[in-house]
Amino acid sequence: MATVNPLGPLTPDTLDGLIAAATSTEYETWWGRVRSSGYCAHPIHLTRTQGGQTTTLYARCENRRETACPACSDLYALDTWHIVTGGLTPDRMTDATALFLTLTAPSFGTVHTHRPDASRGKVPCHPGPPSLCTHGASSVCTTSHVPGDPLLGSPLCAACYDYETHALTTWWFPALWNRYVRTLRRLVTRHIPGATVSFVKVMEMQARLAPHYHAILRANSDTGTGIAGEALAALATLAASTTRLDIPTPGGTTTLRFGTQTDTQPLPDGKDTRRVAGYLAKYVTKTITATPLPARIPAASIGLLPVGEHHKQIMRTLARLATALPNEYADMADRLATLGWRGHTTTKSRTFSTTMTAQKQHRAAWRAAHAAPGDAPEHDETEGAAEWEYQRAGHKTAGHRYLAVTAALTRRERLRTAHTITDIAPEAPRTRA
């Protein structure tokens, strides 16, 4: 997934809108609404009329993507962090074992890659004697690619690359995970009687634009005896190697599986919880492409998009599959912007920890309890109270958005600085009562 500057370019029009907003006589009223929305970059405008007076407020857009809204993406990442850490607390880890799991998609062809080596410095992408593939393209790349190189993830030969299986794997990846979980739970029940498995996982797009999963698995024992981390890791790896999913293709059927690069890292006694939670939370705010794309992309317009040829070829494959098998894949035509991904970025089993909804309710209750005198309540429970009505979404100008996003980024840096100071500050000396 790509990371870009959420502020966007400071164009003359944006600068004019910024100055106009900052010098407006309604600035304080507008800024109060922006602040109440948490400096949302694309707030929802809600109004209600009661007693002849119209009240307007801004609600969060709740977009998880940092490029769309840094403020809401930070909140989504924080919720993910709490979901992860909530599942690794001492009370949940009683007679339990947890491990960090990474599952990848299989190879669809050789792609350009970044190969860092601490001892030798830069390493060539695909070194070797000169050779050609069956299509006449070079099978060798001696370039030492650096992070951010637009070639990273693209195939050495597009004709050799299996774009159809790539697109189908992305489309069915959530179903492949569901099959994996069922397989793992059967294996755990068979080999560790009385154990139950729960999880939380996050999807990340690799440089080659294929999905892979980072997950935390937790196995709790009902027998009062602990579960060996090595045993759980072995079963997780075995489940990944045996999980299969048969799906329809234009040529008949094919069998999907995970890649061979299954990685398991035990988390003994809940250690490194903060690090792992931060690792997962980091990925939920990323976007697939460096350039924002419209939600709906006509197949005829794929060639006009400001993305690489690898992106376009994946989109063309999705459009072709949607036409070839409309009963199965017609919806692929509506998923071109996500490159065929149709699942949630973050999912969890019901028993792993808290939920996103519970955290939203907790925040709403806290705000209501700590509201300043004179603040309007979020919900008026008096009889006959007017309902909030949707008016529109977004800021009036690019300048208004620039101010809100700047404030969100500034607030983020202040919070990070405060956390850093708290983490490195020496512990205060204790005194005896």
Q: What pLDDT sits at residue 60? A: 92
Q: What pLDDT sits at residue 286? A: 82
The tokens of 25 are what?
Answer: 């006589």
Mean pLDDT of 399-405: 91
Q: What integer best gives the mean pLDDT of the chain?
A: 86
Q: What pLDDT sits at residue 222? A: 81
Q: What pLDDT sits at residue 279? A: 81
Between the two ends of the chain, the Cα-to-Cα distance in Å is: 54
Q: What pLDDT sits at residue 40? A: 94
H or E stretch covering 200: strand 195-205
Check whether 393 has a pLDDT greater than 60: yes
Q: What pLDDT sits at residue 375? A: 54
How distant, in Å, are the alpha carbons of 93, 98, 224, 350 from that of 220?
7, 9, 9, 14
Q: What pLDDT sits at residue 421? A: 64
Confidence of residue 431 (pLDDT cuts 50, 70, 90): very low
Asked if residues 345 and 64 have their Cβ atoms less than 8 Å apart, the reply is: yes
Tell me: the pLDDT tens digits for 48-92? 888 778 888 899 999 888 888 999 999 999 999 999 988 888 888
Q: In a 3-state reduction of DSSP, which class is residue 391?
A: strand
H or E stretch covering 44: strand 44-50
Q: What pLDDT sits at residue 395? A: 92
Considering only CA atoms, give the Rg of the chain.
25
Higher-confidence position of 40 and 426: 40
Mean pLDDT of 285-300: 82
Tell me: the pLDDT tens digits for 218-234? 998 887 666 788 899 99
Query: What whole-number distance in Å separates Cα of residue 179 and Cα of residue 240?
Result: 10
H or E stretch covering 252: strand 252-256
How distant, in Å, are the alpha carbons of 71, 72, 274, 299, 323 from that of 315?
30, 28, 37, 8, 13
Model-level pTM? 0.84
Mean pLDDT of 349-372: 85
Q: In a 3-state reduction of DSSP, which class is residue 193?
A: coil
Higher-confidence position of 149 and 376: 149
Give me the phi and psi of 96, to 5 degrees please: -135, 160
Q: What pLDDT sits at residue 370? A: 76
Task: Please name which of 283, 288, 236, 296 lies closest in space to residue 263, comparing C-alpha atoms.
Answer: 236
